[in-house]
Amino acid sequence: MTEQCPAPARDSRSAGTDSPLALAARDLVYEIDGTRIIDGVAIGARRGEFIGLIGPNGAGKTTLLKTVSGLLKQQDGAVWLQGTDLGEMSAGDVAKVLAMLPQLTPYTFGFTALEVVMMGRYPHMGRFQVEGAAERRLAIEAMRLTETDAFVERTVASLSGGERQRVFLARALAQQPKVLLLDEPTANLDVQYQLKALDLVRSLVGEGMTAIAAIHDLPLAARYCHRLVLMSKGRVLAEGTPETVLTPQNIEEAFGVRAVVYPDPLTGALTLSLVGPTHPDEATARGVRVHVVCGGGTGGRMMYELLRAGFEVTAGVLGAGDTDRRAADIMGVEYVPAPAFGGIDDDAHAAHLGLLDAAEVVVLCETPFGANNLRNLEALRGRSRLLTIQTRPFAERDYTGGEAQRLFDGLAPIARCAGPDEALAAIDETTRPSESDREGASEKGT
């Protein structure tokens, strides 16, 4: 008796054919001692789809994989494997269709790598059948794909963690599954094999296999998976294409870190830089706004460090195509846009002055000045809490024939710093509440 296979609870735009779901689950609940590890999860994986499960430790990714593979029995909800209720399938029937690569490479008791890989053929063999040439060939082929064919005669115990991981991947492949579940498949692998392993899964998915992988490396997940499912506290927080799931808001909510997300310039896949954990009570995160005047790649690092330290950051006028403008975009820093080499018109200048007025501290980076951006310097005139970063004489970056030098000399910075770290310390010093303020605050607090 087979129940009708349901549509996934939340549809997504990927692999948008009406191909049947290879694996589907609805309203899944799994709890241990009253604690819900999985709390009402729905998931649907189409044929030929690679789904990445992401989320912080303890989000329920491994438990979800074990539940949908039948290793754990859910308390509520249902799982369908190729349209059949998993609860009505025997372990042997499941094993013919679904393979699972476990997270930790288990105890192996003296088996050789080949013996372990050939175990992947057991579900397809009769009880009285032993592995013959065909099974051996399939096993060796799987080992070749995972580049473990050199270990055929080695005992698994003598292999490194990464080598074992690949041997067990080979076993999962030897199982010739329609659905492959992988729990942190790249955890023990070095960079080269992380990419190779996922390339391999991706190519098998291209041939019609379905893969669901729990992956903690978000850029890898974004790069290889068709869809991502972001889990947090046993629930699905977001689901869809990497672009829709990997937003700074989602990441902050799930992982508690601020991140900047941007397309990798080489692969085009989303990548991200973590800005730092969110510490709402941290001393530096006081909502102090710092304005950075920069351009030509001189301000990226400064903005990044300020964000990391918890400051609100704005930037001056940045022309199209400017490296610092791209950095500001990635980090979500507000700035005044201007066309490339178009100079700063009055509107932009006025907007810039507005940002400057709203900032508590202003940092002038070691930016070269020419006619195009000279008004960025002009806007600083008369600013009181100004810091400059300066390692070389200003004349070396004056491309205005002295006008910039004149404006620069008219500034009265409170500090001249050698780099972002020094500047950060100075800003911290400038913006910290005075001793008396702090005492007053602590008296109030107690």
Partner 1 sequence: MGIFARKAIGSYRTASVTARLAVGAGALGVLVLSAAIASLALGPLGIPVSHVAAIVLDRVGIDVADFTITEKLVVEQLRAPRILVGGLVGMALGVSGAALQGLFRNPMADPGIIGVSAGGATGAVLSIALGLNTLFFLALPLFSFAGAMGAAFLVYGIAAVGGRVSMPTLLLAGVAVSSFLGAVVSAVIVMVPADAALREILFWLAGGLDGRTWEHVRIAVGPILVGVAIITLLSRDLNLLMLGDEEARSLGVRVRLVRPLILATAALVTGTAVAFSGTIAFVGLVVPHMLRLLFGPDHRVLIPLSAAGGALFVVVADTIARTAVQPTELRVGIITALVGAPFFLFLLIRNKRQAEAF
CA of residue 32 relative to chain centroid, distance: 29
Work out whether 1 is an interface residue with partner 1 (CB under 8 A).
no
Site residue total, partner 1 (CB under 8 A):
39
Contact flag: residue 13 with partner 1 (CB under 8 A): no
Select from 16, 110, 268, 445 the one that contacts partner 1 (CB under 8 A): 110
Q: Whole-angstrom distance between the N-terminal and C-terminal Cα of the chain?
A: 68
User: According to the binding rule CB under 8 A, does residue 131 interact with partner 1?
Assistant: yes
* Residue among 131 and 329 whose Cβ is closer to partner 1: 131
- Looking at the Cβ atoms of 108 and 376, the one nearer to partner 1 is 108
Q: Which of 1, 2, 4, 130 binds partner 1 (CB under 8 A)?
A: 130
For partner 1, the closer of residues 213 and 364 by Cβ is 213
Is residue 33 part of the contact set for partner 1 (CB under 8 A)?
A: no
Interacting span for partner 1 (CB under 8 A) from 3-11, 21-29, 129-137, 332-340: 129-137
Q: Nearer to partner 1 by C-beta: 111 or 399?
A: 111
The residue within the footprint of partner 1, chosen from 5, 119, 269, 411 (CB under 8 A), is 119
Based on the shown chain and the rule CB under 8 A, indicate whether residue 112 belongs to the binding site for partner 1. yes
Residues 427, 425: Cα–Cα separation, whole Å: 5
Indicate the residue among 86 and 328 with the shorter CB distance to partner 1. Answer: 86
Interface stretch with partner 1, choices 68-76, 286-294, 300-308, 402-410 (CB under 8 A): 68-76
Q: Which is nearer to partner 1, 155 or 247 (CB)?
A: 155
92 forms part of the interface with partner 1 (CB under 8 A): yes
List the beta bridge partners of residue 417: 389
According to CB under 8 A, which residues from 176 to 205 bind partner 1?
A: none
Q: Which of 90, 434, 436, 446 binds partner 1 (CB under 8 A)?
A: 90
Residue in 16, 107, 402, 442 binding partner 1, rule: CB under 8 A: 107
Which 140-179 positions form the footprint of partner 1 (CB under 8 A)?
Answer: 152-153, 155, 157, 175
What does the alpha-carbon distance between residue 52 and residue 405 come to, in Å, rounded to a whole number? Answer: 54
> Could you give the CA distance from residue 275 to residue 271 in angstroms, rounded to a whole number?
13
- Residue 22 beta carbon to partner 1: minimum distance, rounded to whole angstroms: 16
Q: Under the criterion CB under 8 A, does residue 411 sit at the interface with partner 1?
A: no
Q: Pick one of 26, 46, 47, 66: the residue that binds partner 1 (CB under 8 A).
A: 66
**Residue 55 touches partner 1, criterion: CB under 8 A:** no
Asked if 61 is part of the footprint of partner 1 (rule: CB under 8 A), the reply reads no
For position 409 contacting partner 1 by CB under 8 A, the verdict is no
Q: Are strands 84-85 and 76-81 parallel, antiparallel or unpaired?
A: antiparallel
In the complex, what is the shortest distance from the CB of residue 68 to partner 1, in angstroms, rounded to a whole number? Answer: 12
Q: Which residues bind partner 1 (CB under 8 A)?
A: 66, 69-71, 90-96, 98-100, 102, 106-112, 114-116, 119-120, 122-123, 127, 130-132, 136, 152-153, 155, 157, 175
